[in-house]
Amino acid sequence: MNIKWNYNPEDYGKSFLIAPGNYRVRIETVEETTSRSGRDMLKITLKVNGYKQKLIHNLVFLEENPELTNRNIGEIFESFGITPGDFELSHWENKDGAAEIFNKVDNNGDMRNNVKKFIPRSKQGLLPAWTDEQPPVQAPVNPEMIEPDAEIPF
């Protein structure tokens, strides 16, 4: 094999994280799956306004805590304008909403983007309009906004 690549050492170690903040997001895909602990789960792939990176949000159905599960589902319905109770997942795809994104260190010590919460439609008005262009420079990650891994109940 004859590899032809122009290596740029300045790219090594560069963070490709999305800076913490509120962003318009679009649901690209929704997949029914199972969590590591065997619970029903939806794996939601989100496109973030202005970024090439995708975000994965796992919605785990907690049978022992239906109030929390219903709150989390309700946030999605409200943010993306999905009819409450509509679990036809194809209706979710390509819907626009908004999310507050934060960064945290995972169990392997790697920094990851995560959804802190989905933003209601009534509070999305001041967010920048959707664009497919990536911002020229990403803001550095503020270490004070990084949340250490918490115990996940699933």
The pTM (predicted TM-score) of the whole model is 0.77
pLDDT of residue 137: 44
Domains and CATH numbers, the chain: 17-124 (2.40.50)
Per-residue buried b or exposed e for 39-59, using 16+ beta carbons within 10 Å of the residue's own CB: bebbebebbbbbbeeebebbb
**Taking a C-beta distance cutoff of 8 angstroms, is the pair 87, 69 a contact?**
no
Token pair in block for residue 52? 């090439």
SS3 70: helix
Report the 10 Å Cβ neighbour count for 71: 11
User: Average pLDDT in the 3-18 region?
Assistant: 75
Q: Report pLDDT digits (tens) over 67-86.
A: 999 999 999 999 999 999 99
Q: What percent of the chain has pLDDT over 70?
A: 82
pLDDT at 65 over 80: yes
pLDDT at 145 over 50: no
